Amino acid sequence: MGTLDGVITLVTGAAQGIGKAAAVRLAADGARVVVNARVDDERLAASVAGTGHNAMPAPCDISDWEASQAMVEKVQDELGPIEVLVANAARMTMKPFLEQAPEEWWQQVDVNLTGHLGVISAVLPGMRKLGRGRIVIVSSYWGVIGWENATGYGCTKSGLIALTRSLGRELAPEGIYVSAVAPGVIDTPQLEVDARDAGLPLKAMHAIYAKGIPAGRIGRADEVATTISFLATQAAAAYVGQTLHPNGGEIRCSM
């Protein structure tokens, strides 16, 4: 799968779920991982510890453009240019469209979409200095097919796929490759939001989702992390502006 030995890698939203699994996997594959989370708490500390301490914590709310710029500057002052960015941080609110307050809509946009514009703009100068880089954007299959009661989330995740396509075309000539993953239903704390919206116990929510998946089960965060790690390496150089779909066969499309 190529090598990540010593490669400076930033993972946003890495205190839990897919982000945490990605940080652990990338560190196991040799990367020097910078673990971002919105707040500096025990979850961030646990994520750093899970890497075998081959990581640096970088608490920052990426919806704050200036704060994300300062975070990246601090990291690069200490470690050097960031060569791999995993844009994973996300916020989701589930409500019927007309019940979602405008501020809830914008919170999702400000983290999921605009927040990552800020982080990408901060890491790009360093990648250009290196003459190479990898940006792996974590979307969602809800950004591909849409989902009831998750309009804001789905729109932002669809926007990330469009961002991947456009940046992929723009940056590939510079040796900076942009790709995305759009996971299906994954066993992460995010599913607790789904269960509350459906008024069901979490275990029942898992079972309902599993029925629609040909593999017969929901996915695991470590499976998505494996895909992310692959896209972060030279072995994935053929993937430019493309989105991979680890979803157990639930949807099969080229978006």
Residue-wise DSSP of 189-241: TTHHHHHHHHT--HHHHHHHHHHT-TTSS-B-HHHHHHHHHHHTSGGGTT-SS
> Which CA distances in Å does 171 have to 93, 109, 160, 163?
32, 23, 16, 12
Q: What is the pTM of this model?
A: 0.93
Q: Is 83 part of any domain?
A: yes
Q: Which stretch of DSSP H or E encloses residue 38?
A: none
Q: Is 43 part of any domain?
A: yes
Contact indicator for 36, 109 with CB cutoff of 8 Å: no
What are the pLDDT digits (tens) for 66-115?
A: 999 999 999 999 999 999 999 999 999 989 999 999 999 999 999 999 99
pLDDT of residue 1: 46
pLDDT band (50, 70, 90) for residue 248: confident
Catalytic center residues: 153
**What SS3 state is found at 177?**
strand
Q: Is 255 part of any domain?
A: no
Q: How many domains does the chain have?
A: 1
In 3D space, the residue among 93, 88, 90, 116 whose CA is nearest the CA of residue 103 turns out to be 93
Q: In angstroms, rounded to a whole number, what is the distance separating the alpha carbons of residues 21 and 17? A: 6
Q: Is 159 part of any domain?
A: yes
Q: Region 47-65: what's the mean pLDDT?
A: 92
Q: Region 37-49: what's the mean pLDDT?
A: 92
What are the pLDDT digits (tens) for 175-191?
A: 999 999 999 888 888 88
pLDDT band (50, 70, 90) for residue 255: low
Q: The domain containing residue 66 runs over which residues?
A: 8-185+221-244
Q: Is 15 part of any domain?
A: yes
What are the pLDDT digits (tens) for 218-245?
A: 889 999 999 999 999 999 999 999 999 9
Residue 55 scores a pLDDT above 70: yes
Q: Apex CA 113: angle with CA 159 and CA 166, to 5°? A: 50
Q: Any idea what the CATH number is for the domain that residue 129 is in? A: 3.40.50.720
> Which CA distances in Å does 82 have to 31, 32, 120, 125?
11, 10, 10, 9
Q: Pick the residue with more confidence: 122 or 203? A: 122
Q: In angstroms, rounded to a whole number, what is the distance separating the alpha carbons of residues 249 and 236? A: 21
Within 10 A of 249 (CB to CB), how many other CB atoms are there? 12
Q: In angstroms, rounded to a whole number, what is the distance separating the alpha carbons of residues 106 and 93? A: 11
Q: Pick the residue with more confidence: 213 or 124? A: 124
